[in-house]
Chain A
């Protein structure tokens, strides 16, 4: 149990831009230094580090250790499966602190999609050429069973989920568009009030949303996340140290990772395609946190697509199974909704830092320093794909 034993004492980020002239290494250093400065901790004190497994995270622990002159790490770990790593790096870091294996843990994520390959493109990834005429897809995580059919990118996978959702819960195309558009438009409105957001100056209305080109039916352009460069970092310590460092530490109530057959983020062979994660994983999260969905003031839910925001509302228990779309249309996710969601603009409109910018936003909300501040926010949920999650409290 990590509840009440670990806190986030520092957050840092770079600017989020379409294409940064800076290397991923420099972006990571900038974000980590900002987080350490925010915490008031000397880089030499860092003794633990958690990151996303390569090839997702391009910046290694050795690069940061020598780049920042860190004396010695005594705990470092990597978490696989892309965005799922968000809850995992927090779980690993917190576990290291609770078990005494580290005292100051940095977790970071540096994105350099402008040079490092875009997640929305499949061309740049390994796939050898056969005499220059054919692409041979190496068998890895069942890709050789999907790529030959042109199923290659996350957006296409989420479209498969969305179609199934429409069928099972008897939605018309218009119903789905109203629900997902509610997500896209509200997250854009939040971003319009967030000076750090890539989409701060771009308005989005229903006409533009509905008129946008279809990427992978039933998903349109504005249902899909951004691709960009930037980095975020957070600093974890034990609660005693946290209280000495600052008046407003943000406490970890729970941090989880979870895996069941074919429920990795790009898994498609799971028995029920619509089950993002097992109900037991959500129950375990809330039990560990000692709070329930009704206690949450604000949620930052992983939104590779608007569909994920909707489905996560069901998965974590804010809406009944199959009712997320109605909940969105009736209640929304705006500042006056029962649950404001993705208050920074999310991956759809602030920037895509693989969930880490949702984590930093949750910390700002609990400190009371967010752009779109939820009044008196006391508990925040940060959701990641496949049920990996973090629950925070001030």
Chain B
């Protein structure tokens, strides 16, 4: 059983890019800033002229937890799993799992890079692996 993101007009471009194995963040054409998660307008200059800027896919672990007790039946067979807040090199933070290493090997500040996990035939989601690793 996969847990897949429901999409809105605002969030669809993010997931559509992920489906093509590209990581993007929302970008303001007015003041050139980026952020995540998506917003209707630029939160800084309130411009409506927004587009999506590719991210390099490099980041560091800002914080993480090892979930050992599943709180949803859909992840019951996945524990223990690592949920992390990853700070992208460009600044914004995104939530993802850390794949490709044992939970005990994850640490705050650890360099990670994006990979894409196909959760259904149609949906892929960004995940992260240790930057030096081969991605498991």
Show the binding face of A for B, using Cβ within 8 Å.
Answer: 120-123, 127-128, 130, 133-139, 142, 144-153, 155-156, 159-164, 166-167, 213-219, 261, 268-269, 273
- Whether A134 and B120, one on each chain, are in contact in the complex, defined by CB atoms closer than 8 angstroms, is yes
Given A139-B8, A147-B3, answer yes or no on A160-B71 (Cβ-Cβ < 8 Å): no
- Whether B95 and A151, one on each chain, are in contact in the complex, defined by CB atoms closer than 8 angstroms, is yes
Q: Which residue of A lies closest to B75 (CB)?
A: A150
- Whether A156 and B71, one on each chain, are in contact in the complex, defined by CB atoms closer than 8 angstroms, is yes
- Whether A137 and B37, one on each chain, are in contact in the complex, defined by CB atoms closer than 8 angstroms, is no
Selected A-B contacts with CB under 8 Å, 9 pairs? A122-B71, A123-B74, A136-B5, A139-B10, A145-B36, A147-B5, A160-B65, A217-B68, A268-B85
- Whether B2 and A135, one on each chain, are in contact in the complex, defined by CB atoms closer than 8 angstroms, is yes
Q: Which residue of A lies closest to B103 (CB)?
A: A217
CB distance from A70 to the nearest CB of B (A): 39
- Whether A167 and B3, one on each chain, are in contact in the complex, defined by CB atoms closer than 8 angstroms, is no
- 0/1 string, B112-134, CB within 8 A of A gives 1: 00000001100001000000000
- Whether A261 and B43, one on each chain, are in contact in the complex, defined by CB atoms closer than 8 angstroms, is yes
Interface size class of B (residues with CB under 8 A): 35 or more
Neighbouring B residues of A164 by C-beta, 8 Å: 62-63, 108
Q: Which residue of B lies closest to A221 (CB)?
A: B69
- Whether B85 and A160, one on each chain, are in contact in the complex, defined by CB atoms closer than 8 angstroms, is yes
- Whether A144 and B7, one on each chain, are in contact in the complex, defined by CB atoms closer than 8 angstroms, is yes
Q: Which of these, B4, B73, B108, contacts A148 with CB under 8 Å?
A: B4
- Does B56 lie at the interface of the complex (its beta carbon under 8 Å from any beta carbon of A)? no
- Whether A216 and B4, one on each chain, are in contact in the complex, defined by CB atoms closer than 8 angstroms, is no
Q: Which of these, A120, A130, A148, contacts B71 with CB under 8 Å?
A: A120
Given A150-B72, A150-B97, answer yes or no on A156-B65 (Cβ-Cβ < 8 Å): yes
Given A151-B83, A268-B95, answer yes or no on A135-B71 (Cβ-Cβ < 8 Å): no
- Whether B6 and A139, one on each chain, are in contact in the complex, defined by CB atoms closer than 8 angstroms, is yes
- Whether A139 and B68, one on each chain, are in contact in the complex, defined by CB atoms closer than 8 angstroms, is no
Neighbouring A residues of B1 by C-beta, 8 Å: 133-135
- Whether A163 and B4, one on each chain, are in contact in the complex, defined by CB atoms closer than 8 angstroms, is no
CB distance from A390 to the nearest CB of B (A): 30
Neighbouring A residues of B5 by C-beta, 8 Å: 136-137, 139, 144-145, 147-148
**Cβ-Cβ contact count across A and B, 8 Å cutoff:** 134
Neighbouring A residues of B85 by C-beta, 8 Å: 160, 268, 273
Neighbouring A residues of B96 by C-beta, 8 Å: 149
Neighbouring A residues of B43 by C-beta, 8 Å: 261
Considering only residues 1-36 of chain B, those with a C-beta below 8 Å from chain A are 1-8, 10-11, 36
Q: Which of A130, A149, A215 has the most CB of B within 10 A?
A: A149
Q: Which residue of B lies closest to A215 (CB)?
A: B69
Neighbouring B residues of A219 by C-beta, 8 Å: 65
- State in angstroms the CA–CA spacing of A135 and B95 once bound together: 18
- State in angstroms the CA–CA spacing of A136 and B15 once bound together: 13
- Whether B7 and A145, one on each chain, are in contact in the complex, defined by CB atoms closer than 8 angstroms, is no
Q: Which residue of A lies closest to B107 (CB)?
A: A167
- Whether B65 and A167, one on each chain, are in contact in the complex, defined by CB atoms closer than 8 angstroms, is no
Q: Which residue of B lies closest to A134 (CB)?
A: B2
- Whether A269 and B93, one on each chain, are in contact in the complex, defined by CB atoms closer than 8 angstroms, is yes
Q: Which residue of A lies closest to B65 (CB)?
A: A159
Q: Which residue of A lies closest to B108 (CB)?
A: A167
Neighbouring A residues of B48 by C-beta, 8 Å: none
- Whether B6 and A149, one on each chain, are in contact in the complex, defined by CB atoms closer than 8 angstroms, is no
- Whether B11 and A144, one on each chain, are in contact in the complex, defined by CB atoms closer than 8 angstroms, is yes
**4 more CB-based (< 8 A) A-B contacts, given A137-B5, A160-B65, A217-B65:** A156-B67, A160-B85, A164-B108, A167-B63
Q: Which residue of A lies closest to B67 (CB)?
A: A216
Given A150-B81, A273-B62, answer yes or no on A137-B6 (Cβ-Cβ < 8 Å): yes
- Whether B69 and A216, one on each chain, are in contact in the complex, defined by CB atoms closer than 8 angstroms, is yes
- State in angstroms the CA–CA spacing of A151 and B78 once bound together: 12
- State in angstroms the CA–CA spacing of A213 and B70 once bound together: 12
Neighbouring A residues of B40 by C-beta, 8 Å: none
CB distance from B134 to the nearest CB of A (A): 22
Q: Which residue of A lies closest to B119 (CB)?
A: A148
Q: Which of these, B80, B95, B103, contacts A145 with CB under 8 Å?
A: B95
CB distance from B103 to the nearest CB of A (A): 8
Neighbouring A residues of B68 by C-beta, 8 Å: 213-217
CB distance from B14 to the nearest CB of A (A): 8
- Does B94 lie at the interface of the complex (its beta carbon under 8 Å from any beta carbon of A)? yes
Neighbouring B residues of A151 by C-beta, 8 Å: 83, 95
Given A139-B7, A217-B68, answer yes or no on A161-B63 (Cβ-Cβ < 8 Å): yes
